[in-house]
Structure 1
Amino acid sequence: MKSSTNILPLFFTLFFLTSVTLTAQNFKDLDVSPMDAAAYPSSHRVSKKLVKVIYSRPQLKGRTVVSLAPNNKVWRTGANEATEITFFKDVTFGTKKVTAGTYSLFTIPGEKEWTVIVNTDVDVWGAYSYNKKNDIARITVPVTEGKDYLEPFSIAFDDNGTMHLGWGTLRIAVPISE
């Protein structure tokens, strides 16, 4: 009897370890609109950033920009959750002063210009709960056309801290400075 009592805890331990190992190997497939980040300064070797943007990257897949980000409607500036922008220092966003912190980044696309919005609501899905009363900065920037075609929605910073949004051949530039 004593030997079977010693085997029972060993059996349960092996069963538990096997079941944990099996479920730990179930990895989720790549998201259709994968999450990405862009920061300024862009160099990965610079640890003190001025700004960082976390967003999801929808793909055009034969569709038009305006069908996915309709003109004159508030857009989450990406896919899935609303895009978040973190300023690690107080900045000037276009011509508006913004204090350091994390905010959501919404846009209102237009044919010739886009309105870019910094809003205090964070951790929100899409633009469904967008509340204009929580805007702290709104700027309007012109739309230009790029030479290269971008299948995924993309955000990047240049060496001057200007944030560039691009999709298809559409381009907008948002000045950010200390």
Structure 2
Amino acid sequence: MKLTRLFTAMAFSFMMLLSFNANAQEFKGLDKSPMDVAAFPSDYKDANKLIKIVYSRPQLNGRSVEKLAPNGKVWRTGANEAAELTLYVDMMLGKTKVKAGTYTFYVIPGEKEWTAIINSDLNVWGSYFYKPENDVARINVPVKSDEDSLEAFSITFEKADNGVHMFLGWGNTRIAVPFVK
């Protein structure tokens, strides 16, 4: 009797082991455009953030910025999902007051200026489903050029008078989007 129970327990354990291996998870490799976060202040010890953006970082890989983010077309501000911007306090973008919350952040590249857009839609893939009627705020900002080229699309923040500037850079292109408290 004890031997039968032992064999039954062993058979059950063996079947569980086989079923566990048959259902093992397969994890995909690293994304070609890894996700990143930029915030202000950037110090992780400071829990009192003003602003944060979650975005993916495409690489040029011999291509031009204009090919990947064409002039005159809404761009998701990165790769994959549209960038998500979180304001932890009410802020002004241009002349528009934007309440604290999470939004989608788009841009429309141009030769001399880019349009930065805060939109109320969330969980959006790319800019394929962009709806201008859900725009919360827009501002046009001048384009500058830099000697140093950035291979990976990058975003950073710097303190500014009464707020913070969000800097976007890729290739030799640079723009600064002012947020005012």
Same fold (TM over 0.5): yes
TM-score when normalising by structure 1? 0.92
After superposition, the CA RMSD in angstroms is 1.8
- Note the 1:46-125 alignment, pairs <5 A: 46-125=46-125
| Counterpart for residue 165 of structure 1 | 168
- Note the 1:5-16 alignment, pairs <5 A: 5-13=5-13, 15-16=15-16
Secondary structure of 1:67 counterpart: helix
| Counterpart for residue 33 of structure 1 | 33
Secondary structure of 1:121 counterpart: coil
| Counterpart for residue 175 of structure 1 | 178
> 1:134: Cα distance to partner?
0.2
- The code of the aligned residue for 2:180 comes to S
For 2:165 and 2:56, locate their aligned partners in 1 and report how far apart those are by CA, in whole Å.
20
1:61-118 CA-partner distances (Å, limit 9, x unpaired): 0000000000000111110011000111111123321001110001100001000000
Tell whether the 8 Å contact from 1:51 to 1:86 is kept in structure 2 after alignment. Answer: yes
Structure 2: 5+ residue stretches without partners: none
For 2:11 and 2:159, locate their aligned partners in 1 and report how far apart those are by CA, in whole Å.
61
Secondary structure of 2:76 counterpart: coil
> 1:14: Cα distance to partner?
5.2
> 1:16: Cα distance to partner?
3.2
> 1:17: Cα distance to partner?
5.0
- The code of the aligned residue for 2:102 comes to T
More divergent stretch after superposition (39-48 vs 128-137): 39-48
- The code of the aligned residue for 1:162 comes to H
For 1:12 and 1:143, locate their aligned partners in 2 and report how far apart those are by CA, in whole Å.
67
For 2:124 and 2:166, locate their aligned partners in 1 and report how far apart those are by CA, in whole Å.
22
Gap change, CA 1:8 and 1:126, over 3 Å in 2: same
- The code of the aligned residue for 2:65 comes to V
Tell whether the 8 Å contact from 1:94 to 1:174 is kept in structure 2 after alignment. Answer: no
Structure 1: 5+ residue stretches without partners: none
For 2:52 and 2:11, locate their aligned partners in 1 and report how far apart those are by CA, in whole Å.
50
For 2:41 and 2:134, locate their aligned partners in 1 and report how far apart those are by CA, in whole Å.
28
Count of aligned residue pairs for this structure pair: 177
| Counterpart for residue 145 of structure 1 | 145
TM-score when normalising by structure 2? 0.90
Gap change, CA 1:53 and 1:17, over 3 Å in 2: farther
